[in-house]
Amino acid sequence: MKMRFKDALSNIDYHELVGLHEDLEKGGHAIRGEVKNAILEKEKELGKFCHVCQTEIDPHSMSNYTILLGPEGLRRKASFCALDCLKYFISDIERRKDEFKKKSASVGVPEQK
């Protein structure tokens, strides 16, 4: 089950919350390290299965592709079992951008880059 940050906070023990607050007051070094480790773990998890067809990816196969998406600091990783799945993913992004452009044009929203 996916949990939002606010939900996760409400499930944290009071003493640990106080400890987190103290860390934030001192610059948040421990929290920064924990978040970085959690991101690395998630990235490993995301690389295990194809983003499109959910097939388990063989890490030794030469037909795997992995891309990084999004702006610096908010990068996400997506892996694909084959070129077909990568192509499907890209064409789906293009299709959604085209739909967004059409909707934006009809309601006068500035174009997204």
Q: Interface with Zn ion by CB under 5 A: which residues?
A: 50, 52-53, 55, 81, 85
Cβ of residue 18: shortest distance to Zn ion, in angstroms?
45
Cβ of residue 52: shortest distance to Zn ion, in angstroms?
5
Q: Nearest residue by C-beta to Zn ion?
A: 50
For Zn ion, which is the closer residue by CB, 37 or 55? 55
For Zn ion, which is the closer residue by CB, 10 or 63? 63
For Zn ion, which is the closer residue by CB, 53 or 109? 53
Q: For tokens 């023990």, name the residue.
A: 13
Q: What is the dihedral of CA 41, 46, 49, 54, to 10 degrees?
A: 140
Cβ of residue 53: shortest distance to Zn ion, in angstroms?
3
